[in-house]
Amino acid sequence: MNVVILDDYQDCIRTLKCFESLSEHQVMIYHDNVKEVHVLAERLAHADAVVLTRERTRIGEDLLALLPRLKLIAQTGKIASHVDLAACQQHGVTVTDGRGSGTATAELNLLLILASLRRLVPEVQRLQQGLWQGSLGRQLFGKKVGVYGFGRIGESVCHLLKAFGAQVWVWGRESTLQKAQAQGFEIAPSREVFFSECDVLTLQLRLTSQTQHVVTAADLGLMKTDAVLVNVSRAELIEPGALLAALQQGRPGFAAVDVYEHEPVLGAQDPLLALPNCLCSPHLGFVEKDNYEAYFGMAFENINAFARGQPQNVVLSV
C-alpha cells in the first residue's frame, strides 16, 4: 500500500522502532503542516492510507472528494471532530484509531506547574544574561490545586499532585466527582469556590460540544491574583479571548499553556506569547518517545491488519 504520514514536525517517525512494521509498504512522510485543501489533495493523491498525527490536519468532504484512491485513515489516538466520519462513509474510507498513554501529558502538567511556581524560565534567562536571582518562587507542597476533570490524564495528575503534597480539589460533572471521591480525592464545595480559592488550577477535559468554552471570562475573573492556570488539554475549553484578557487584568496572575486555537503557532503569532505572565510551550503534552511508539505503533498495526483484510480498532467500516 501507498502510505502517507502527515505532520511529522520533528522528522522523528522514521527513527521509531515501530516504523519498521511498515517495511512492506511505500511510505511518504511530510514534516510541515498545510491547511490548503488543494495542497493536501496533491500530497495524498496516490495514498491508499493516511496516518494522522492527532488532530493536526482536518479531513473533510472537500478533501475526500478529491481522493478517490484513499481507502484508510489510521488515526493516532482517538478520533475527534477533525475527521468527518459521515463524509468518510460516503466516500468508502475506513477509519481506525488507537490509544497511547496519558503519562507524558500528566507529567508535562506537573512540569509546567512547578516551572510556573518557581519562575524557572525567567530565572534561567536571567542567568544567561549574566544576572543572578531576581524573583522569589513558591513551592507546590501545601498548595490548593484544582483539577477540572478526572479522566485518564486528570486522574494521573491528581495522583502526581498528591505525591508532591498538594491539597487536591476536583471539579467536573457528577460522574467525574463520584469517581474522584471514590479514589479518596476531595471535591470542591462549588464551582465558584473552585475557581476563587485554588492556588493552581489545571484543565483536564476532552474537547466536546459540551466542554467547548466551558471556562468563561467570569470564571477566570474569580481567580486569585497570584493563582496559576494550566492548560495542557485544548485551547477551546476556554472562552475565546478570555484568557488573554484575564491575564492582562491580573486574574489569574499567571498561566502556563501548551495548546492554542490555531496550531502550529509560527512566527510567535499568538498574543499569549507576548505576555510576561504566561509560560507557553508548543503542544508537547503527548510528544514523547515512548508515547510516540505506542501511538504510531498502533496506527501502523492497524494499517497492516487492514492490508491483510482483517481490520482492527475500526471506528468506521465501509
**Residue 234 annotated among the catalytic residues of the structure:** yes
Quick one: how far is CA 11 from the chain centroid? 19
Cell of 169: 480539589
Asked if 61 is an active-site residue, the reply is no
What letter does residue 22 receive in the DSSP assignment? Answer: G
Side by side, the strands of the sheet bearing 26-29 are: 26-29, 2-5, 49-52, 72-75, 94-96, 314-316
Active site residue 263: yes
Task: Give the integer Cα–Cα distance in Å for 314 and 84.
Answer: 15
CB 101 within 8 Å of CB 294: yes
Q: Residues in the chain, how many?
A: 318
* Residue tagged active-site, from 234, 239, 251, 288: 234
Q: Of 236, 263, 293, 301, which is the active-site residue?
A: 263
Residue whose entry in the numeric block shows the C-alpha cell 479571548: 241
DSSP-H helix ranges across the chain: 37-43, 61-64, 85-90, 103-117, 120-128, 152-163, 174-182, 191-197, 217-221, 242-249, 289-307
Q: Are 98 and 76 in contact (CB under 8 A)?
A: yes
Dihedral sign (CA 309, 310, 311, 316): positive
* 95 three-state secondary structure: strand
Residue type at 134 in one-letter notation: G
Residue 82: which of 102, 104, 63, 103 has the closest Cα? 63
Specify which residues 95 forms β-bridges with.
Answer: 73, 316
Q: Exactly one of 54, 119, 251, 283 is catalytic; which is it?
A: 283
Give the start-end residues of each E strand in 97-192. 144-148, 167-171, 186-187
| Strand partners of residue 187 | 170
State how far the Cα of 166 lies from the Cα of 226, in Å rounded to an integer. 16
Residue type (1 letter), 92: G
Q: Annotated catalytic sites, by residue?
A: 234, 263, 283
